[in-house]
Amino acid sequence: MLLGLAHIIDRPGESVSFSTSVDLSDLRYGNSYPVSEPVKAEGVVRNTAGVLMMKGSITTCIHGVCDRCARNFDREVSFPIDVVLVTELTNEENEDEWVFPLEGDSADLDDIVRTVFVLNLDSKLLCKEDCKGLCCRCGKNLNDGPCNCQKELDPRFAALQQLLEK
């Protein structure tokens, strides 16, 4: 979706709000396509002393496979939109991923939402931030509780056990 900004480009203090939904179901992540639901984005573009600032939020529900524990999960994610829109990219600004060029008098919301979303998504897909993963020894999902390997691996415990067995 293109968001027309002609009426605020030269008017400091003016703003225009937006609300859109973007399809990112083609976004590949490893071997999966976790963004199967529409990605909602809303916010406002404000002309702040001549600079077009876009602020808002992106939300969706990811259906993925955890990179750490290999479990299927659904996870609500929400990322902030905080970018600057410019009529022309200079070389300097081009290196800044948070600056986007306008398409004529409009902002290409699909492109901006896609880029901000990808930049915010972690390099690993996890079912939750502190996923404990699988035990490398017995393969138990440690999110369900500790396994018995930990005790055996602890040399102090092993020594104690030897004493007890004697």
Q: Which residues bind Zn ion (CB under 5 A)?
A: 66, 68-69, 127, 131, 135, 137-138, 147, 149
- Closest distance of CB 75 from Zn ion, Å: 10
* Number of neighbouring beta carbons within 10 Å of residue 41: 26
Longest Cα pair distance anywhere in the chain, in angstroms?
A: 87
The residue among 4 and 30 lying less far from Zn ion, judged by its C-beta, is 30
- Closest distance of CB 111 from Zn ion, Å: 31
| Residues with Cβ within 8 Å of residue 44, at least 6 apart in sequence | 15, 16, 17, 18, 54, 55, 56
- Closest distance of CB 68 from Zn ion, Å: 5
Query: In angstroms, what CA-CA distances link 56 with 18, 30, 53, 90, 97?
Result: 9, 28, 10, 25, 17
The residue among 66 and 102 lying less far from Zn ion, judged by its C-beta, is 66
Alpha helices in 4-154 (DSSP H): 6-9, 91-94, 109-120, 149-153
- Closest distance of CB 64 from Zn ion, Å: 10
The residue among 25 and 72 lying less far from Zn ion, judged by its C-beta, is 72
The residue among 51 and 138 lying less far from Zn ion, judged by its C-beta, is 138
